[in-house]
Amino acid sequence: MPADDRHRDERSSHHRAGAVEHDELVARLSQRVVHKRRQVADAHRRLTRLSSELASLEKRLADRQKLLKRRADAAFNWLKPCPWDRRLKQATDAFGISSFRPLQPHALNATLMARDVFAILPTGAGKSLIYQLAAVVDAGLTLVVSPLLSLSMDQRAALRGYHIRAECLHSEITKQQQKAIYSHFIPSDAFAASSKHPRKKWSREQPWCPDDVEPLVLFVTPEQVARSKRLLSRLEILYENGHLSRICIDEAHCCSSWGHDFRHDYRKLAILRRQCPSTPILALTATCDPNTVEDVCNVLEMKHPVIFRGSIDRPNLFYEVRQKADTDKVVIQDIASWLKTEFKGQCGIIYVLSRKEAHTYATQLAQLGTDTDCYHSDMDITHRNAVHRQWSDNKLQVVVATIAFGLGIDHPHVRFIIHATIATSLEAYYQESGRAGRDGLPAKCIVLQKPKDFARMSAFVADKGQSRIRKLYAMYEYACSRGLHSRHLCRRQLIAKAFGDTAPNRTQEQLATCCDLCAARCGAVESSVVSIDVSYIARDLLSMIELYVEQYPDKKTTILKFATDWGKNSKSKAQRSKSDRSSMAKLVDVNTRVEILVQLVLSGALQETHRHSSYSMQAYVTTNDVQAALRRRSIDVTLWKKDAERLLAAKSYLKTERSDEGMEKLPGDDKELSMVDMLMKKHDDSEVVVIDDSDESIIDGSGTNFLEHSGDSGNRSPRVDCQLDIAPNKGKKRKRNDLER
């Protein structure tokens, strides 16, 4: 072999050996990489698991610590002697307060101890007095964030009456006025620079501010806090120098989107806590359920707040629901006649849903000879203030208003509040009706209810989320007295339940002044509603809707359309004569049908869906748990007594008209349907359960919470096949044969 070839061979075998070695090395390295990757992935998985375990442990620890702190707060004696007692006594004397109302001194001492405090006290309980007295005891500046200018102005006037300097900083004052407020209340240097008083905690022997610093109260709107850098920087200077005594957040429920009065700028108030971390926060509201309380505390970044929850019960208020006429004209006539008789010479508020309604109602009521004016947010501020002032001075009997006339209305002698349309939630209703009877004397809170308002209200709140729909349903259950068969159904209890509270038990005599349902139960008045079994109509309506949804899954129909079209063009396949249903339809008015459908929505047999049409939100109805409803032995709904009587008369009429031979037995016919029996229908209340889940860490005076639920009887009864009575679009009429099964 030539030398060249040998060299080449040697080189190539050397090369091959090198390549094999290289390959082995690469393979080994790849293996190690795979191994390491696996190890990293494992470690990563472990780390993720451990992190989530750590997070859950941390949350449990925080929850536990929170609970322990709240328990300690609950056990703490808030009324023990405190260093500021003498000063407080001087202040109460100056204010002319002879005794405190429930939980006022507790909240007052807690905030003076520099604790964050959340006081949830009923409407008219005197929440403002807590910060007013605290402002006098602590001196320096008390900042009050209040949602309404009119409310702030009233409070300012009250404080000035006690010779306390108070101001409202808002966008409608002149530059000069603003300058004066800044230089006196929140100066950039002045007394701030001269102060050598660091903040002291609750064990302090002296007030935070030196004695020569006068108490000042500054009212601001949440919008101002969110937008004014100048305000924040000045507050920071005051804080640094120990002159910012307290931050009060009035109507604190506005912080939470779960509350009924959410305001975006309230969510930005945490900036105050971040800029002034050790200034105590005092949050005040009348309406907050336990979830909303937690949300508000988080939004405001309150540190281990002491929560004082008073019983929300207002014993002097009588809650009542009256039937609302079908047209506005008759509703207005009804109200006018009440104003001239039942409420003659008494001061009150009529709440309506829209600005247009406020105007119409007020004008027509005035034409009918009543002393009425309107109040809504479209009116200019001067006109609004004039109406408010006239009413407060008893120069005007009634204000017809939208909810713009609500927060902060503090007229002591309001004798009645009429809601011409149901409120959007029980919380909102409590707040609005709470304007009545603030002098402690009896007052009436009346809701006018008609079933057609339900869909309107549902479309109205749908934009604000599902939780608002649930709250509206609770309000409607209140208004339609659903669950009337329960011995415990009481409007006061339903309101208390919305706040996770219970209303105190009442003696037999007190029942007459509790609510219309309790008054009827104890025989003081005649009941205006009855709970009756409407299965023979409800099953028919449900089957019709079920069939409709099956045949037109993409079409949307409203409750009103189903109610109106029920019985039209009826042709029976299930041996039900056509005339049978149409006769029934003639005898059962549309309002009653709507009421039955609405209560089927509330019971879960049907459900609402909401869609935007070209102009507004629309509420449609579709099936949900129809089969469960069809299986029930009876389908009970609460109806106005007159409607129930008409319904039963219709049924008796049909029974006598029908020959028994060859006729299908209507479901529910096996029961005796004598009118008296139906109207006096007695139900046991075994489904009412009492669950004691009271949170002992919240300081309150009320007892246990209770939940009420009703169960399905589970009794099977056959589904009623029926003919589809309606077509989705009247314009494009489908062939009836297409619709028949």
Residues engaged in binding ligand ATP (CB under 6 A): 97, 100-101, 104, 121, 123-129, 286, 408, 410, 434, 438
What residue ranges in 450-576 does DSSP mark as E strands? 529-533
β-pairing verdict for 216-220 and 141-145? parallel
Quick one: which of 135, 137, 82, 71 has its CA closest to 106?
Answer: 82
Q: How far is the CB of 460 from ligand ATP (least distance, A)?
A: 24
Q: Would you say 337 and 308 are in contact if contact means Cβ atoms under 8 Å apart?
A: no
DSSP state of 118: E
Q: Would you say 87 and 207 are in contact if contact means Cβ atoms under 8 Å apart?
A: yes
- Measured in degrees and rounded to the nearest 5, phi and psi for residue 611 equal -140, 150
Task: Read off the amino acid at residue 633.
Answer: R
Q: How far is the CB of 699 from ligand ATP (least distance, A)?
A: 17
Q: Would you say 327 and 500 are in contact if contact means Cβ atoms under 8 Å apart?
A: no
How many beta carbons lie within 10 A of that of residue 15, not counting itself? 10
Distance CA 656, CA 659 (A): 7
Q: Would you say 649 and 532 are in contact if contact means Cβ atoms under 8 Å apart?
A: no
* CB of 122 or CB of 140, closer to ligand ATP: 122
Q: How far is the CB of 348 from ligand ATP (least distance, A)?
A: 16
Q: How far is the CB of 488 from ligand ATP (least distance, A)?
A: 28
Query: Token pair for residue 701?
Result: 């005076």
Distance CA 27, CA 631 (A): 70
Quick one: which of 476, 495, 487 has its CA closest to 311?
Answer: 495
Task: Read off the amino acid at residue 105.
Answer: P
Q: How far is the CB of 266 from ligand ATP (least distance, A)?
A: 16
Q: How far is the CB of 285 from ligand ATP (least distance, A)?
A: 7
Side-chain-side CA neighbours of 708 within 13 Å: the count stands at 22
Q: How far is the CB of 444 from ligand ATP (least distance, A)?
A: 17
Q: How far is the CB of 531 from ligand ATP (least distance, A)?
A: 34
* CB of 97 or CB of 270, closer to ligand ATP: 97
Largest CA distance in the chain: 134
* CB of 101 or CB of 267, closer to ligand ATP: 101
Distance CA 175, CA 171 (A): 9
* CB of 166 or CB of 727, closer to ligand ATP: 166
Length of the chain: 741
* CB of 125 or CB of 166, closer to ligand ATP: 125
Helix (H) or strand (E) holding 231: helix 229-240
Q: Would you say 437 and 311 are in contact if contact means Cβ atoms under 8 Å apart?
A: no
Q: Would you say 578 and 572 are in contact if contact means Cβ atoms under 8 Å apart?
A: yes
Query: Token pair for residue 222?
Result: 């949440």
Cα dihedral 378, 383, 388, 391 in deg (nearest 10): -120
* CB of 199 or CB of 438, closer to ligand ATP: 438
Q: How far is the CB of 130 from ligand ATP (least distance, A)?
A: 8
Distance CA 191, CA 196 (A): 10
**What residue number has its CB nearest to ligand ATP?**
126
Q: How far is the CB of 496 from ligand ATP (least distance, A)?
A: 17
Query: Token pair for residue 67?
Result: 């609970």
β-pairing verdict for 414-419 and 443-449? parallel
The gap between the terminal CA atoms of the chain, to the nearest Å, is 99
DSSP state of 665: P
Query: Token pair for residue 571?
Result: 């042709």
Distance CA 96, CA 114 (A): 25
* CB of 100 or CB of 202, closer to ligand ATP: 100
Q: How far is the CB of 384 from ligand ATP (least distance, A)?
A: 18
Q: How far is the CB of 87 from ligand ATP (least distance, A)?
A: 17
How many beta carbons lie within 10 A of that of residue 29, not counting itself? 10
Q: How far is the CB of 149 from ligand ATP (least distance, A)?
A: 15
Distances (CA, A) of 349 to 131, 387, 407: 28, 12, 13
* CB of 317 or CB of 336, closer to ligand ATP: 317
Distances (CA, A) of 563 to 188, 468, 540: 67, 25, 11
* CB of 287 or CB of 486, closer to ligand ATP: 287
* CB of 227 or CB of 413, closer to ligand ATP: 413
Q: How far is the CB of 59 from ligand ATP (least distance, A)?
A: 33
* CB of 103 or CB of 537, closer to ligand ATP: 103
Q: How far is the CB of 287 from ligand ATP (least distance, A)?
A: 8
* CB of 129 or CB of 213, closer to ligand ATP: 129
* CB of 406 or CB of 451, closer to ligand ATP: 406
* CB of 393 or CB of 526, closer to ligand ATP: 393
* CB of 158 or CB of 366, closer to ligand ATP: 158
Task: Read off the amino acid at residue 171.
Answer: S
